[in-house]
């Protein structure tokens, strides 16, 4: 699975976003260590706190299907700019990124995306390793 293919999965998932309150549609696609792709979109709720982001939708789909190691994730929004994962999603991503080695693609368009890392966007993170200390 190359980066562009993953980005296209994220774009496709974005079309399923349910965002009647913010009109901010987001799509995510993550790749697991065995090459399986899980996609997600944001799903809002009239009780705003019940909203789930695209990244966590993809993550819960993967984990609930038995995939606990994520290697890449692409995130795209209809707003057209670069959309970074929110703090809660960063924390969920780090839980399933062994040694924080996941590649994160912040996508504006197929040929305009930023590749970043958890070290860059979630420095000093609290992980399961801290619980072992
Ligand atoms: N949202 C995501 O799905 N992912 C992000 O990375 C940022 C925010 C959603 C949540 C909410 O439905 C809308 O975007 C506005 O915050």
Give 20-29 pLDDT, tens digit per residue.
999 999 999 9
d(CA 49, CA 52): 8
Residue entry with tokens 């939708």: 57
Is the pTM higher than 0.95? The answer reads yes
Q: Rounded to whole angstroms, what are the CA distances from 26 to 40, 60, 77, 119, 120?
A: 8, 16, 4, 23, 21
| Mutation test residue for ligand 1: of 14, 23, 42, the one with most atoms within 8 Å of CB | 42
Neighbours of 2 (CB within 10 A): 8
Q: Is 45 in the pocket of ligand 1 (CB under 6 A)?
A: no
| Mutation test residue for ligand 1: of 54, 59, 75, 107, the one with most atoms within 8 Å of CB | 54
Does residue 80 carry a pLDDT above 90? no
Q: Residue range 105-127: average pLDDT?
A: 95
Residue closest by Cα to atom 2 of ligand 1: 53
Q: Are 12 and 42 in contact (CB under 8 A)?
A: no
Does residue 6 carry a pLDDT above 90? yes
Q: Determine the pLDDT at residue 27.
A: 98
């Amino acid at each position: 699975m190359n980066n562009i293919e993953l980005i296209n999965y994220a774009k496709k998932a974005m079309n399923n976003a349910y965002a009647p309150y913010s009109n901010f549609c987001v799509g995510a696609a993550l790749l697991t260590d065995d090459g399986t792709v899980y996609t997600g979109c944001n799903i809002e709720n009239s009780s705003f706190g019940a909203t789930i982001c695209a990244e966590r939708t993809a993550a819960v789909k993967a984990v609930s299907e038995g995939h606990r190691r994520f290697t890449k994730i692409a995130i795209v929004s209809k707003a057209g700019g670069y959309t970074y994962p929110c703090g809660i999603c960063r924390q969920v991503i780090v839980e399933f990124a062994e040694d924080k080695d996941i590649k994160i693609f912040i996508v504006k368009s197929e040929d305009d995306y930023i590749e970043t890392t958890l070290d860059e966007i979630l420095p000093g993170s609290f992980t399961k390793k801290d619980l072992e200390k």
